[in-house]
């Protein structure tokens, strides 16, 4: 990995720690093309642990354990994410909504429309998805992802819009957030806000208080400038709430304070 990439990873990790303070590690995510070597230091669950992990689970381990993980066709046992990431080709049953009918959708027609809207890579485009904390990544990411509470995600949205203004536009199907985090962000080349899906909550341990901010790697310089610029402009986390001003105390407290003040005046007069 080039020294410039390593320096930017370090700068971004430090800036997020300073300005956002998420509870888990901010992540770098990279898609590997067939034949591309696995970056140094990454664990492949099927090879290193004799286990099969899904993408959201791998993201959860990376951001909580601090491990670097690479998963591909031989690891991913979730057929929906395997299809989305292009590790397996979709079949007719998939397009008819076989996995969603009766679970996420009332009927086959609705389920097929849900699947049609899923973010996907073409089969065979990539062989592995790699994920690691920014501070430990041995690769140049395609996507940066931060799990955080809504106020922290707002902080990142403010930073993302500091230079160019406008709006952040995201789509969600309420599931397969792994595809929305990685594939949506890569295909649109724009920052995104994502709602963790049911699978991420079950297998990736995403909490009810968490959302995800994701942006493409080429956006990082803008994000860094935005975090610093909005900080100077007074946008902070934790949010500085309105705590100044004289408050109203309960009646008995007020009466007690008057007694204390009266006693102090009497003592001075003696």
Greatest C-alpha distance within the chain: 97
| Inside any domain, residue 143 | yes
- pLDDT above 80: residue 165: yes
| Inside any domain, residue 250 | no
| Inside any domain, residue 261 | no
| Inside any domain, residue 237 | no
Count the Cβ atoms, other than its own, within 10 Å of residue 42.
23
| Inside any domain, residue 157 | yes
207-262 per-position pLDDT tens digit: 999 999 999 999 999 999 999 999 999 999 999 888 889 989 999 999 999 999 99
125-163 per-position pLDDT tens digit: 999 999 999 999 999 999 999 999 999 999 999 999 999
Count the Cβ atoms, other than its own, within 10 Å of residue 145.
25
- The Cα–Cα gap between 177 and 196 comes to 6
Calculate the dihedral angle through the C-alpha atoms of 16, 22, 23, 26, rounding to the nearest 10 degrees. Answer: -50
CA distance to 27, 73, 199, per residue, from 68 (Å): 10, 17, 21
> How many domains does the structure of the chain reveal?
1
Count the Cβ atoms, other than its own, within 10 Å of residue 211.
20
| Inside any domain, residue 219 | yes
Question: What range defines the domain where residue 104 resides?
Answer: 3-232
First-residue to last-residue Cα distance in the chain: 80
| Inside any domain, residue 15 | yes
- pLDDT for 244: 87
| Inside any domain, residue 263 | no
């Amino acid at each position: 990995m080039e020294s410039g990439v390593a320096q930017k990873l370090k700068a971004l990790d430090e800036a997020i720690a300073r300005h956002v303070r998420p509870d888990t590690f901010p992540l770098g995510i990279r898609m590997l093309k067939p034949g591309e070597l696995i970056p140094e230091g990454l664990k492949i669950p099927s090879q290193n642990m004799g286990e099969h992990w899904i993408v959201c689970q791998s993201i959860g381990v990376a951001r909580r354990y601090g491990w670097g993980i690479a998963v591909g066709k031989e690891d991913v046992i979730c057929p929906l994410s395997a299809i989305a990431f292009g590790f397996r080709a979709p079949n007719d049953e998939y397009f008819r909504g076989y996995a969603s009918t009766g679970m996420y959708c009332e009927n086959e027609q609705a389920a097929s429309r849900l699947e049609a809207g899923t973010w996907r890579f073409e089969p065979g485009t990539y062989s592995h998805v790699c994920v690691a904390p920014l501070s430990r990544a041995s690769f140049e990411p395609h996507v940066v992802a931060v799990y955080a509470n809504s106020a922290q995600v707002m902080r990142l949205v403010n930073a993302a819009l500091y230079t160019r203004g406008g709006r952040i536009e995201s789509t969600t199907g309420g599931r397969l957030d792994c595809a929305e985090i990685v594939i949506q962000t890569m295909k649109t080349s724009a920052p995104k806000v994502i709602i963790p899906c049911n699978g991420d909550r079950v297998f990736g341990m995403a909490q009810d208080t968490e959302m995800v901010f994701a942006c493409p790697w080429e956006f990082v310089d803008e994000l860094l400038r935005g975090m610093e610029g909005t900080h100077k402009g007074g946008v902070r986390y934790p949010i500085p709430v309105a705590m100044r001003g004289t408050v109203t105390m309960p009646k008995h407290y007020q009466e007690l304070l008057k007694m204390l003040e009266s006693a102090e005046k009497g003592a001075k007069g003696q």
